[in-house]
Amino acid sequence: MSEEHTHEHPHSHADGHPHHHENTRAVLNRMSRAIGHMESIKAMIEDGRDCSEVLIQIAAVRSAINNIGKIILEDHIRHCVVDALETGDQKVLDDLDEAINKFVK
């Protein structure tokens, strides 16, 4: 996606610099699909569907969520981390390290 697809209302990091992402719309669309998929899985469980089928669907949602995380991480590295390196903002780098450790677990 191009630069035109950044947030209209950027968030700020704790230090006040804007938090832009190119793929916000794509992330939100993927989140909506994952939420819908989770609702379908819930219905499968309520209907007493086969556990193997439910587990396969849960694996699909987990994969979708991991891919959403990768998109967010790539955007963060391209924008926030690059800015942090240019300005010497160690907190952004420390926060990224902590987030990656939690995301990869």
Please report, in tens digits, the pLDDT of each residue of the chain (105 residues total).
333 334 333 444 554 555 556 788 999 999 999 999 999 999 999 999 999 999 999 999 999 999 999 999 888 888 888 888 888 888 988 998 898 888 887
Task: Please report the pLDDT score of residue 31 as a whole number.
Answer: 97
CB 33 within 8 A of CB 25: no
Q: What pTM value is reported for the model?
A: 0.71
Cα(12)–Cα(4) distance, integer angstroms: 19
Q: Which domains does the chain have, with CATH numbers?
A: 21-104 (1.20.58.1000)
> Which helix (H) or strand (E) is 58 found in, with range?
helix 51-76
